[in-house]
Structure 1
Amino acid sequence: MSSVLSKLTAIAAALALLAGCNEGSSAAEGAAKGATVKRKLGLNSSLPLYWPLGVDIPELLSDEAPVPWQRRVLEQEYDLVLLGTLSPIEEGLTGAETDPLRDIDRLAVIQPRGLAPADNVALDNWVREGGKLLLVLDPLLTGEYEVPLGSPQRPVDSALIPPIVARWGLEVSVEDHDSFENGFYEVPVGRSRLVVGHPGAIAVADPNAADCGILARGVMARCKVGEGQVVLLADAAAFETAEFAGPDGEELLALMRFAFD
Structure 2
Amino acid sequence: MTRIAVSGLLLLAAGLLTQCSPAATNASAENSAQHSAPVKIQLMTSLPIIWGEGASMQSILSGKTSPAPIYAHWQQNYDIAAVDSFEALEKSGTDIVLLAQPPAMAPADIAAVDAWVRTGGKAIILTDPMLLWPTHLPLGDQRRPLASGLLSPLLEHWGLELQAPDEAGSGGVELEFSGATISTAGIGTFKLSAQKSSDQSECVLSTANVMASCSVGKGRAIIFADADFLNDALWPDIEGGANKDGVGDAKGLIDILITDLRDGE
TM-score between the two structures when normalised by the length of structure 1: 0.73
Q: Which residue in 2 is equivalent to 1:133?
A: 123
Shift of 1:37: 4.7
Whether 1:210 and 2:201 are equivalent positions in the alignment is yes
Question: Structure 1: where are the runs of 5+ without partners?
Answer: 1-35, 89-97
2:58 and 2:126 mapped to 1: Cα distance? Answer: 31
Question: Structure 2: where are the runs of 5+ without partners?
Answer: 1-35, 237-241, 260-265
Whether 1:252 and 2:242 are equivalent positions in the alignment is no
3-state SS, counterpart of residue 116 of structure 2: helix
In the alignment of these two chains, the number of paired residues is 214
Could you tell which deviates more after superposition, 147-156 or 201-210? 201-210
Q: 2:205 is aligned with what amino acid?
A: I
1:179 and 1:104 mapped to 2: Cα distance? Answer: 36
Q: How does 1:157-176 map to 2 (within 5 A)?
A: 157-176=147-166
Q: Which residue in 2 is equivalent to 1:117?
A: 107
Shift of 1:64: 4.2
The correspondence for 2:234, drawn from 243, 253, 257, is 243
1:236 and 1:81 mapped to 2: Cα distance? Answer: 19
Deviations 1:209-249 (A, max 9, x none): 52221115211101111221101111111112343387123
TM-score between the two structures when normalised by the length of structure 2: 0.72
Q: 2:185 is aligned with what amino acid?
A: G
Q: Which residue in 1 is equivalent to 2:72?
A: 72
Shift of 1:144: 0.8
Q: Which residue in 2 is equivalent to 1:201?
A: 189
Q: 1:164 is aligned with what amino acid?
A: L
Could you tell which deviates more after superposition, 56-65 or 155-164? 56-65
Q: Which residue in 1 is equivalent to 2:173?
A: 184
Ranked by relative contact order (alpha carbons within 8 Å, sequence separation 6 or more), the top structure is 2
Q: 1:238 is aligned with what amino acid?
A: F
2:201 and 2:208 mapped to 1: Cα distance? Answer: 20
Q: Which residue in 1 is equivalent to 2:7?
A: none
1:148 and 1:101 mapped to 2: Cα distance? Answer: 38
Cα contact 2:103–2:146 (8 A) shared by 1: yes
Cα contact 1:199–1:234 (8 A) shared by 2: yes
